[in-house]
Structure 1
Amino acid sequence: MFLSLTLSLTGLLYLPLGAQTLERKTLTWEQKKIDIGAILEENGPVQAEFFAVNNHPDSIYITLVTTDCGCTTVDFSKDTLSRENIASIKVQFDPDHRGGEFSKVIIIRTNQDIYGDTLYLEGINMPIPENIEMAYPHRIGDLGLKLSAVNMGNVFTNEPKIKYIEVHNFGSMEASLEKVQEGLPAYLLVSLQPENLKPGQRGLLIFSYDGEKKNDLGYFDERVQIGLNGDQKLDLRIMSVVYEYFSPVPKSMEEVVPKLGLSETDIDLREISANSKISRSITFTNMGKEPLQIRKVSANCSCVELNLEKDQLEPGERTDLKFTFDPKGRKGIDHKHISIFSNDPLNPVRTIVVKSSVR
């Protein structure tokens, strides 16, 4: 009996590869992830719809749909899909008291694919606050906000960054935005949802920040004015960090693309006098095989003066960055940062740390 079992197992090892694996015939989805944005609990459930097409000659039908949360329900096409027929998956998210960002998983299994496709429904759940007055402590006119500033976070140049800000109307009149926002820069758009915010109602200020239109890189801390009806103005602080977007670099191209080399990234000036400026130089080298462009060089303090000899380097070419630190009015351990933005797609932002002890 042992010999028979051994022979059977040995035979399985020599089966053709196609006989050991199941061929997957999956549906082709229009998109596998949908972001439904910010959800206010008082507005009730929100729906999204996924679409898929059968590109196979064999008929496909959905056998099972599962979700990872009771707050997500699904209605789906139960018909058999012949070639080029379209399936619909309707997903409903019911907001509950657990706030914050969410990503719900929906697994779709069919008669031709037992492993299943995975879909994602994402968004931000905003529950009704228990205490309205405490939830929106920062008042600008009749409008209350949770914070006095809008932090857009990291913004990339390939697509606008969207930010949702809760706002509550504490006034006795409807609030709405002026149609023409003269106080906003071209790279920043804002809308109000709903368009007319009733007294006592909560809504959303929706900011869209276009990093490409900003046409600059690095950290920004700005003030903008948003026009409201009745000649009111929302004076807001907007913070952001803008980065250039680069597509992933294939392994075969990593030694070809522009590559920024720095002679040093950690500079210790040791003990220095507050009464004397001090200067150093850092050598930049293009270690790639394509031209290197230095987009921007900036410091996190106006006390650091920067002077770059060249901002475009051919392969193997070098240049120097001279920085001068003025420690006037400073005392004790001090750290300064110099940021270099370039078209090096593997390391588009490099940081040089300058340390000192000012006496």
Structure 2
Amino acid sequence: MTKFFSFLFLICITSYGFAQKPEVINVGVIDGEVGTFYGNFSWENTSEDTVMIGFWSGAERLKLEKENLKVHPRETVDIPFTILTEGYVGGFEIGVRVLDSSEIIIKEYVFQGRILTPVIDVFKAYRNVFWPFRSKYQLVNFKSGFIGDDLSAEMILYNFGGEPLDLRATSISSYYDVSFQPNEVPHNSFTKMNIVLKTDSLLVPGFTKEIVQVKDKNDSLVFSIPVQFTLEQKPSDYTADSPYLAISDLDHDFKVMAPNTKKSVNITLSNRGNEPLELLKIESNCSCLLYDVKRAAIAPGESVEMQVTFDATDRLGFERKTLAIFSNDPRKPTAVITFRAHVK
């Protein structure tokens, strides 16, 4: 009887496409500057039944975009994933298991690759189905500009994805334009990409980091582009009644701090105008610099206290961090406060 049930169990598992030996997926070489690697893998339901599958991995830096999938008979599904590379250098192996609804393993994968030391080098880049290029940078940085202006950037790309790329009829996410010269790129060839960010009133002030997708004429994904930019409101005409943001301290020094300690300071934000002041957004350039402000609207002649805390956990040496305050002050829509510390 035991052998009979074991045999049935084996048949059940095999019908899903279970392999005793994990399937190895080589993701290649990843540039340490990248931060996040994007890829996908496929699983085929070889059975005649519809199955619900889930995933498990013991690696925290592996993130799967889908937790559960319903897969029909003979259907192949693509599972997108990301690997966080920050803080890791050298070769790696990351395992992931495909589980059925009873949490029985029906497939195992092992991702193998190597993360380079974060050094900018035109030929140190990562092989990625969503970014089949080598380039000096793996991220388009538009830097900063005003809402209403067009920001542009150029990047020289080297196609080493193994296949020729047809970029003649590509489309891209809204408020972007992209062009390539040449737009037919054989394997082991260069092209120049020009990408334009068309800012308008739909975009908000502040820092943005996102992934934009380039698709072909059939609306299929060709590759994804990581981009980042900071937008500000344009300074505008003002009167004596316009809101006016006054900040008590634009450059604060926390002085000497011991590692793994915290220091706080109160910064006073005042409205010296005769119209209401709105704090539209406040951004810190580091998770170690925290702020707390009780309200975003400041009436004429009133003030609000903003508590700012610097957390020196896992930090050492001289630190310089900033807070950017975006407001409706027409004189200076963006104000930056600098915070310094010496952790030792």
Q: Give TM class, smaller chain.
A: 0.5 to 0.7
1:176 corresponds to 2:167 = yes
Q: Equivalences for 1:70-89 in 2 at 5 Å?
A: none
1:300 corresponds, among 285, 288, 307, to 285
Match for residue 23 of structure 1? none
Match for residue 299 of structure 2? 314
Indicate if the aligned counterparts of 2:235 and 2:332 stay in contact, CA closer than 8 A.
no
| Letter matched to residue 337 of structure 2 | I
1:237 corresponds, among 226, 235, 246, to 226
Indicate if the aligned counterparts of 2:266 and 2:308 stay in contact, CA closer than 8 A.
yes
- Aligned-partner Cα distance in 2 for 1:301–1:217: 18
Indicate if the aligned counterparts of 2:293 and 2:305 stay in contact, CA closer than 8 A.
yes
Q: Equivalences for 1:87-102 in 2 at 5 Å?
A: none
1:151 corresponds to 2:141 = yes
Between the aligned residues of both structures, percent identity stands at: 25
Match for residue 10 of structure 2? none
- Aligned-partner Cα distance in 2 for 1:241–1:258: 23
TM-score in terms of structure 2 length: 0.53
2:153 corresponds, among 152, 158, 163, to 163
Secondary structure at 1:357 match in 2: strand
Decide which moves more: 167-176 or 340-349: 167-176
Q: Deviations over 1:108-161 (max 9, x none)?
A: xxxxxxxxxxxxxxxxxxxxxxxxxx9888686765545433221223211332
1:192 corresponds to 2:177 = no
Match for residue 199 of structure 2? 211
- Aligned-partner Cα distance in 2 for 1:151–1:159: 16
Match for residue 333 of structure 2? 348
- Aligned-partner Cα distance in 2 for 1:168–1:320: 51
Indicate if the aligned counterparts of 1:139 and 1:145 stay in contact, CA closer than 8 A.
no
| CA shift for structure 1 position 349 | 1.5
| Letter matched to residue 240 of structure 2 | E
- Aligned-partner Cα distance in 1 for 2:184–2:152: 21
Higher share in helix = 1
Evaluate the alpha carbon distance shift between residue 164 and residue 286 of structure 1 in structure 2; reply closer, same or farther with a 3 A threshold. same
Evaluate the alpha carbon distance shift between residue 255 and residue 270 of structure 1 in structure 2; reply closer, same or farther with a 3 A threshold. same
| CA shift for structure 1 position 296 | 0.9
Match for residue 25 of structure 2? none
| CA shift for structure 1 position 340 | 0.9
Secondary structure at 1:335 match in 2: strand
Decide which moves more: 162-171 or 349-358: 162-171
| CA shift for structure 1 position 254 | 4.9
Indicate if the aligned counterparts of 1:219 and 1:241 stay in contact, CA closer than 8 A.
yes
**Higher RCO (C-alpha under 8 Å, 6+ residues apart):** 2
- Aligned-partner Cα distance in 1 for 2:132–2:323: 42
Match for residue 270 of structure 1? 255
Q: Deviations over 1:52-109 (max 9, x none)?
A: xxxxxxxxxxxxxxxxxxxxxxxxxxxxxxxxxxxxxxxxxxxxxxxxxxxxxxxxxx
Evaluate the alpha carbon distance shift between residue 177 and residue 308 of structure 1 in structure 2; reply closer, same or farther with a 3 A threshold. farther
Match for residue 261 of structure 1? 246
- Aligned-partner Cα distance in 2 for 1:174–1:284: 53
| Letter matched to residue 238 of structure 1 | V
Evaluate the alpha carbon distance shift between residue 218 and residue 319 of structure 1 in structure 2; reply closer, same or farther with a 3 A threshold. same
| Letter matched to residue 158 of structure 1 | G
Match for residue 338 of structure 1? 323
| CA shift for structure 1 position 227 | 3.5
| Letter matched to residue 311 of structure 1 | A
- Aligned-partner Cα distance in 1 for 2:137–2:263: 40
Evaluate the alpha carbon distance shift between residue 354 and residue 178 of structure 1 in structure 2; reply closer, same or farther with a 3 A threshold. same
Evaluate the alpha carbon distance shift between residue 274 and residue 234 of structure 1 in structure 2; reply closer, same or farther with a 3 A threshold. same
Evaluate the alpha carbon distance shift between residue 136 and residue 345 of structure 1 in structure 2; reply closer, same or farther with a 3 A threshold. farther
Q: CA RMSD in A?
A: 3.4
Q: Deviations over 1:14-44 (max 9, x none)?
A: xxxxxxxxxxxxxxxxxxxxxxxxxxxxxxx
Evaluate the alpha carbon distance shift between residue 283 and residue 167 of structure 1 in structure 2; reply closer, same or farther with a 3 A threshold. same
Indicate if the aligned counterparts of 1:305 and 1:324 stay in contact, CA closer than 8 A.
yes
| CA shift for structure 1 position 173 | 3.9
Runs of 5+ in structure 1 lacking a partner? Answer: 1-133
Structure with greater Cα Rg: 1
